[in-house]
Amino acid sequence: MASPTLETKSQLIKEHGAALPLWTCELGNIPEDSAIPDGFTGRMILPRVSGQKFAFKPGQYLEAAGGREHLESILTQNDVLYVPLFVGETYKPADWPPKKMPDFNEHMDLIATVGPRVKAVLTGNQGPELSYRKESRSPLANVALCSRFIRHIYELFEPLGVRTAVGPMDRDIAQDCYLGGHKHMRQTLASCGAIAFCFCGFTLIPGAYFDNKGEEIPESVRMISEWRRGRSIDVLRYYLEGIEVWGDIWENGGLEHGNDALMAEAGFKAGVY
């Protein structure tokens, strides 16, 4: 199914309303100006080279963003901007400690300039995502490494007056919630005041709608259900209390089927659509 356009999403928000503040996320599509689309609170801006999984060669990030001057000109206080800092791409995460990409210093200079005037800056160890799940021998090792990464980014950003945003995936949040005793990522997110944008966040909610015909999302739903072990939604609600977690509501029907309301009830603070 083709993804709905921004215009279609704005119309659906107008028709159905939204139980959460919604941020738009257009991968690789750089806005032409600072206008926030109708119905949305803000934007997640994720520059990407077409056909690549966030694997940037030197100079490619700012080129994909339309140039530094253009990028700076369109940013608003409700934008979350993705800026890569480390070697790593989708499903090929940076090791721990993460290796700096060649443009690290240039990108940190950009963050120092624009970071204080946007809502947050997002970075990860595999593109915008954060996970050591495929490299770790246990769930606890994964969430512990994720926590160290979050703290590391916070220590880079906080002196600049920049809020940290990270992108743990659904299974990583679930591991911390149901297997980690809330002792790793949750505590670090709280102490750092960071935003966690949970990729595929809707999969954490029993009964949430999706129409994916592939394997990744159904497998996440199966694994999360196994870790949940029949416990009520109150466990997740307690986990999300006191921290700021946003989640993808699933753009192909999630709003129409009420995923936003289910996620708001569980404690998500915003949705990405």
The 10s digit of each residue's pLDDT in 152-183 is 999 999 999 999 999 999 999 999 999 987 77
Q: How many domains does the chain have?
A: 1
Would 114 be classed as within a structural domain? Answer: yes
What's the confidence (pLDDT) of residue 7?
A: 95
Residue 1 lies in a domain: no
Domain range for 158 is: 6-272
Residue 257 resides in a domain: yes
Under the banding of pLDDT at 50, 70 and 90, the label for residue 136 is low
- What Cα–Cα distance (Å) separates residue 165 from each residue in 55, 183, 232? 19, 19, 28
The structure's pTM equals 0.96
- The whole-angstrom separation of Cα 59 and Cα 212 is 35
Dihedral over alpha carbons 96, 102, 106, 112 (to 10 degrees):
0
Domain harbouring 239, CATH code = 3.20.20
What's the CA dihedral at 158, 159, 162, 166 to 10 degrees?
-40
Position 212 scores a pLDDT of 74
Give the residues across from 25 on adjacent strands: 44
Query: Which tens digit of pLDDT belongs to each residue from 54-104?
Result: 989 999 999 999 999 999 999 999 999 999 999 988 888 888 899 999 999
Percentage of the chain exceeding pLDDT 90: 82
pLDDT in tens, 248-266: 999 999 999 999 999 999 9
Residue at 197 is within a domain: yes
Asked if the structure places residue 132 within a domain, the reply is yes
Residue 12 lies in a domain: yes
Is 54 domain-assigned? yes
**Looking at the domain assignment, is residue 11 inside a domain?**
yes
Give the residue from 48, 53, 56, 151 showing the smallest Cα distance to 96: 151
